[in-house]
Structure 1
């Protein structure tokens, strides 16, 4: 199993299931994401409908962690009979990146309510190739 596969599999934990069960009540995972590897690039897609990415979204990479922060403001133009299940306020999602991802290479785009962050992955063969050690006779 490659290092990338090990990292990707390590992302699943029993806490993921617990968060999914309760996120409707607590909002702890308000930003839902999909993670996949496309060739040599890690792709993170975040569900962020109804926001202006220029004003309401902040994407950063710090110490190997991708942070997506978003804010959705509630409009105060409600009529008498109004009910909403939309979530308003500030939301944050932090995702650890595989080691070796370079902060300057990470890009982000937004289309149709989905933020897509692309992070080129380091060459898997780099530094992990076996090299023969000569044996000296004493």
Structure 2
């Protein structure tokens, strides 16, 4: 085996998958290579579902702000407001919930849908926690957090000089 074969980004360039045999050692070798590839690529393209990646950023959120309000929106498809808990305390917004599996009978063979519990914590700075408001519409959670007077006063405009 050449040294370049050990570099994970050089593997996986075949044009078509080839099955040589069902040798268990060869299967183990390929699986170990795949695991190392995932580590070096940061799990990009791995088979981990977004629900399993709760620590890695599910649900997806968007933060926007104006001079007065910080707004956090989160995509929660397939959930209702009853499935989600929203808390803000000590400068941290916590989104927590669970998407339960829908059982439509027996015989399910394939699914791309995700189920399970999630929790996402978002650090905040200088907001009025007691005035936070939340709404839920069409699978999108919106949390509005008014900025404190301290946060509004701390904004400083910086002039860009050209030389």
TM-score (norm 1): 0.67
Give the drift of 1:81.
4.5
Question: Where in structure 2 are the equivalents of 1:1-138 lying within 5 Å?
Answer: 21=44, 25=48, 26-27=52-53, 28=55, 29-53=57-81, 55-99=82-126, 101-123=127-149, 124-125=152-153
SS at match of 1:104: helix
Larger Rg: 1 or 2? 2
Shift of the 117–68 alpha-carbon distance from structure 1 to 2, 3 Å rule, reads same
In the TM superposition, residue 46 of structure 1 has moved relative to its aligned partner by 0.3
Give the Cα separation in 1 of the matches to 2:109 and 2:102.
Answer: 12
Q: CA separation in 2, counterparts of 1:103 and 1:24?
A: 38
Runs of 4+ in 1 over 3 A off after TM superposition: 21-24
Aligned Cα root-mean-square deviation (Å):
2.3
Q: Structure 1: how far apart are the matches of 2:77 and 2:105?
A: 20
Asked whether the equivalents of residues 73 and 140 of structure 2 are also in contact (C-alpha less than 8 Å), the reply is yes
Aligned positions, number? 107
Deviations 1:3-45 (A, max 9, x none): xxxxxxxxxxxxxxx68x4786251322110011134111100
Q: Name which structure has the greater RCO, CA cutoff 8 Å, separation 6+.
A: 1
Unaligned segments of structure 2, at least 5 residues? 1-41, 157-163
CA contact (8 A) 1:41 1:121 kept: yes
- Between 1:32-41 and 1:89-98, the stretch displaced more is 32-41
